[in-house]
Amino acid sequence: MIGPMDEYPIHQAPLPANRVASSDRNFYDRCYFNAMDTASGDTMLVTGIGYYPNLAVKDAYLLVRRGNTQTAVHFSDAIDQNRLDQRVGGYRLEVVEPLQKLRIVVEETDGLGADLTWEGSHPVVQELPHLMLASDSRPTLDAQRFAQLGSWSGALLIDGEEIVVDPAHWMGSRDRSWGIRPVGEAEPAGRPQEPPMEGFWWLYVPMRFETFSIVVIIQEQANGFRTLNDCTRVWNDGRVEQLGWPTIDIDYTPGTRHPERARISGTGTDGKPVVVEVETRTNVVLHVGGGYGGDPDWTHGQWKGENFVERVSYAMDDPAVVGRTPFGVIDHCARATCDGEVGHGLFEHGTFGRHDPTGFVDWSNERR
């Protein structure tokens, strides 16, 4: 079990670094990136690589949205001991400068490939720990994360067309998280949750402006009780300013849960309001080829066999896809204004079931 990382003074438990302290099968350690063309607003991708030590699996994916099509390539393999060499099949993540500069290379796979370099716009932000319990006892999610906004350079290959990724207008956000969350094959359900969950409401908004960025994370129960509130402004020189307990107003397309616009209203440390006006553009549906939130085709940490690779495409107007789209988290490319500055970034939102503050009454799209 001894590996290259054991040469470094990084140990947190009397174990080899490749063995995690928790025996929970759902322990994970993975990263997520998004990239968006802010000039046209019609191309967006999400990608990531993950390690699942107690499942002996590692995997990676690249998911691209252009127009009305989402296309993904998936990679999976048996885990190895050299975590310093982050790669799965034709996918690799190179740490050029820790916490600042990284490179993602996806070898051409059935027409899809990428060579992208990430440059952070400011130091990474440590987010609040995220804890969710089932039946008030067992953690279903217990994780630590850090986030960063930045720019991309390089090239994206889609079916013979090479798209130049210019950092002047290609930007995005990233996070790395580790801990416990449902991964791999489904577990036996056990005793049903009591009372049953009536609804879920989630918002994650990392957004970059000229002189600062904001990172907002909010999670609420069906009655609006907020179980996670983390709202910060990160200045380009690294200063971090808390923005209090923001209010959120979202304009949904009538008869749907699609957010067209939003207003996030926080308070700066000087007591003055900080208001972010957001307009969504294109989006990537994370549970359609991305492996998140009950994706029936691709689940992070699931054993697919050695050297597994596949490409899959989805027509986003296919009735079967349309029917499942509302029941998961969706990553929107967004444009925003704040304090006279124009910004761009991610508006990640998921709302299903009842949510009293926004008026959704049940698992339909009906609102009061």
Reported as a pLDDT band with limits 50, 70 and 90, residue 48 is very high
Structure tokens at 150: 């930045």
User: Which pLDDT score, from 0 to 100, does residue 135 have?
Assistant: 66
Looking at residue 364, its amino acid is S
Measured CA to CA, the distance from residue 324 to residue 286 in angstroms comes to 11
pLDDT digit string, tens, across residues 230-249: 999 999 988 999 999 999 99
Measured at the alpha carbon of residue 128, what is the angle toward residues 344 and 53, in degrees to the nearest 5? 100
Measured CA to CA, the distance from residue 71 to residue 112 in angstroms comes to 8
Lowest-confidence region among 15-19, 194-198, 248-252: 194-198
All domains in the chain, ordered by first residue: 4-358 (2.40.370.10)
Question: What is the per-residue DSSP string for 158-223?
Answer: ETTEEEEE-TTTEEEEEEEEEEE---SSPPP--SPPSSPP-EEEEEEEEEE-SSEEEEEEEEE-TT
Other Cβ atoms closer than 10 A to 98: 8
SS3 of residue 103 by DSSP: strand
Task: Give Cα separations from 334 to 38, 39, 40, 121, 138 (angstroms).
Answer: 8, 11, 12, 18, 36
pLDDT digit string, tens, across residues 114-134: 999 999 999 999 999 999 887
**192-206: average pLDDT:** 88
Burial class (CB in 10 A: 0-12, 13-18, 19+), 13: exposed
Residue 329 phi, psi dihedral angles, 5° rounding: -90, 135
User: Which pLDDT score, from 0 to 100, does residue 333 have?
Assistant: 97
Measured CA to CA, the distance from residue 54 to residue 112 in angstroms comes to 31
Structure tokens at 95: 């740490």
User: Which pLDDT score, from 0 to 100, does residue 136 have?
Assistant: 64
Q: Which helix (H) or strand (E) holds 323?
A: helix 319-324
